[in-house]
Amino acid sequence: MASEHAEHVLTPTSYISHHLSFMAHPVGDTPFMSVNVDSVVMSVLLGIIGCGFMWLAGRGATASVPGKRQALVELALEFVNDQVKSIFHGNISFVAPLALTVFVWVLLMNSMDFLPVDLSAWVYKNVFGLENWRQVPTADINTTFALSLSVWLLMIFYSVKAKGLGGWIHELTCSPFGSNPVLWIPNFLFNLVEYISKPLSHSLRLYGNMYAGEIIFLLLGLWAATGPSGTFFGAILSGGWAVFHILIVALQAYIFMMLTIVYMAMAHESH
Amino acid sequence: MNINLTLIAQGVWFFAFVWFTSRFVWPPLMRAIEERQKKIADGLAAAEKGQLELVSAKGRVDELIDGAKRQSQDLVQSAQKRADEMVEAAKVTAQAEGERQLAAARAGIEQEIRQARETLREQVAELALAGAEQILMREIDASKHQDVLDKLGARL
C-alpha cells in the first residue's frame, strides 16, 4: 500500500481509514448518488453462492436417502422451519423461505470476516487490482439497512394484507392504550416509535457487531506492526478473536433471522 | 459510512434472492423432506404391524405345537394300549393253543395206553392160555374144563 502512495507514510490513521473506506462509485452529483461497488459485488456473489448451493441441492432432492449436500441444506431448512413454525402462526410458505434466505445470506456475508484483513486486502489489490475493497458487506451500514428496511416494508405489507388498510390504521391509532379518541395521538406516537426503532435496532445490531469485529482485527494488526512482541501477542489475540468471532458471526445471523420472523409474526397478529 | 444508493441496490438484490429461494429452493426441498417423513412414518407403522403379526403368529405356532404334542401323546398312549392288548390277546391265544395241544397229546397218549392195554390183555390171555395148555395138556380135558377157561379169559 505504501509503495504505491509514496507520499503516504503508513500511519495508524491511514491504515485504519484505508481498511474502512468503501470503493464508492459515483453515479450522480449528490453524495447519495454513489454505489459501494465492493459491498454490492461481494453480497451478490455470496448470495448467488448461497442460493445456488441450495438450489443445486433442491434440484437433485430425493425423498430417499439424501446425499451430503442435500443433508446439509436440509439441516438449515429444518432449523429455519422449526423456528418459523414456533413463532409464526399461519401460512409460512413465504416467511420460511424469507427467513432461510436472510439466515444463509447474512451468515455468508458475516463469514467474510474470517478472511484475514490484510492478506485479503493484498490479494484484492495485487491480484484483482482493487484498492479499498471492503470484503464484509454486513460491515456496511447500507447493506444492513437495506435488509432491515426490506423486512420493514414486508412487515407493513403483510400487516395491511392481514388486517386490511382500515385494520392497520386502527391498530396504529387504537393500540396499545385503547380506542378512546383522546388516546389516538399517544397511540400513534407510541407505534411510530416502535416502527422507527424496529429497523434501526435490526440493522444497527448486525452492523455494529460486524464493524466492531473488523475494527478489533485492525487494531490487533496495528499492534502487530509495533515490534516482535506486538506481532507475537497480536497474532495470538487475533487467533482468539477469530475463534470468538465464529460465534458472533453465526449468532448475529441467527438473531437477524429470528428478528425477521418475529417482526413478520407481529405483523400478522392483530391486537 | 454514509447512506447511498447501495441501500437500494442491496434491497433489490435481497428481494431477488428471497424470491428465488421461495420459488426454486424451498418447495422442492420441503417436498423431499415431507415425503421422507411420510416414508419413515409408514415404515415405522409397518414395522409395528409386523411386530404385532409376529406376536400373533407366535401364539398360533405355540397353539399348533401344543396341539401336535397332545396328539402325539395320544398316539403314543393309544399305541401302547393297542400293543398291550395285542400282547394280552397273543398270550390268551398261546395259552389256549397250548392247552389244546396238551389235550390232544393227552388224548393220543390215553388212546395209546388203551390200545397197549388191550393188546397186553390179549397177549396175557393168550400167554396164560398157552401156559395153562402146556401145564395141563395132559390131564385137563379141554372139553371138560372149557367153562373154567372161559371164565378166566373173561376175567383177564
At residue B139, the 3 state secondary structure works out as: coil
Determine contact: B40 vs chain A, CB below 8 A.
Answer: no
- Please tell me which of the candidates B7, B14, B25 has its beta carbon nearest to residue A58: B25
Residues of B in contact with A27 (CB under 8 A): 5
Neighbouring-strand partners of residue A24: A36
User: In this complex, do A150 and B15 lie within 8 Å of one another by their Cβ atoms?
Assistant: yes
Give catalytic status of residue A270 as yes or no: no
Report the 10 Å Cβ neighbour count for A237.
16
Q: What is the mean pLDDT of chain B?
A: 89
Give percent of chain B with pLDDT exceeding 90.
Answer: 69
B80 vs B86, B89, B99, CA distance in Å? Answer: 10, 14, 28
Q: Residues A86, A180, A201, A270: which is the catalytic one?
A: A201
User: In this complex, do B33 and A57 lie within 8 Å of one another by their Cβ atoms?
Assistant: no
Mean pLDDT of B55-59: 95
Rounded to whole angstroms, how far apart are CA atoms A23 and A130? Answer: 9
pLDDT digits (tens, 9 = 90+) for A90-109: 888 899 999 999 999 999 99
Please report the pLDDT score of residue A10 as a whole number. Answer: 73
Give catalytic status of residue A134 as yes or no: no
Please report the pLDDT score of residue B137 as a whole number. Answer: 65
Report the 10 Å Cβ neighbour count for B156.
13
CA distance B49 to chain A (A): 22
- B32 touches A70 (CB < 8 A): yes
Residues of A in contact with B26 (CB under 8 A): 58, 77, 93, 96-97, 100
- Please tell me which of the candidates B3, B14, B18 has its beta carbon nearest to residue A97: B18
Residue with cell 428465488: B20
- A222 touches A15 (CB < 8 A): yes
Residue B138, pLDDT above cutoff 90: no
Residues of B in contact with A102 (CB under 8 A): 18
The DSSP secondary-structure symbol of B24 reads I
C-alpha cell at A142: 447500507
pLDDT digits (tens, 9 = 90+) for B68-126: 999 999 999 999 999 999 999 999 999 999 999 999 999 999 999 999 999 988 888 88
User: What count of CB pairs under 8 Å joins A to B?
Assistant: 130
Please report the pLDDT score of residue B140 as a whole number. Answer: 60
Name the pTM for this structure: 0.74
Rounded to whole angstroms, how far apart are CA atoms B113 and B121? Answer: 12
ipTM of predicted complex: 0.86
Please report the pLDDT score of residue A30 as a whole number. Answer: 83
Rounded to whole angstroms, how far apart are CA atoms A180 and A187? Answer: 10
Please report the pLDDT score of residue A2 as a whole number. Answer: 38
Residue B127, pLDDT above cutoff 50: yes
Residue environment code for B5-16, b if the CB has 16+ CB neighbours within 10 A, otherwise e: bbbebbbebbbe
Give catalytic status of residue A209 as yes or no: yes
Residues of B in contact with A31 (CB under 8 A): 2, 4
Task: Name residues of chain A where pLDDT drops below 70.
Answer: 1-9, 270-271
Please report the pLDDT score of residue A118 as a whole number. Answer: 82
Can you state the angle between helices A141-174 and A95-111, rounded to 10 degrees?
150
Q: Residues A14, A69, A81, A205: which is the catalytic one?
A: A205
Mean pLDDT of B122-148: 76
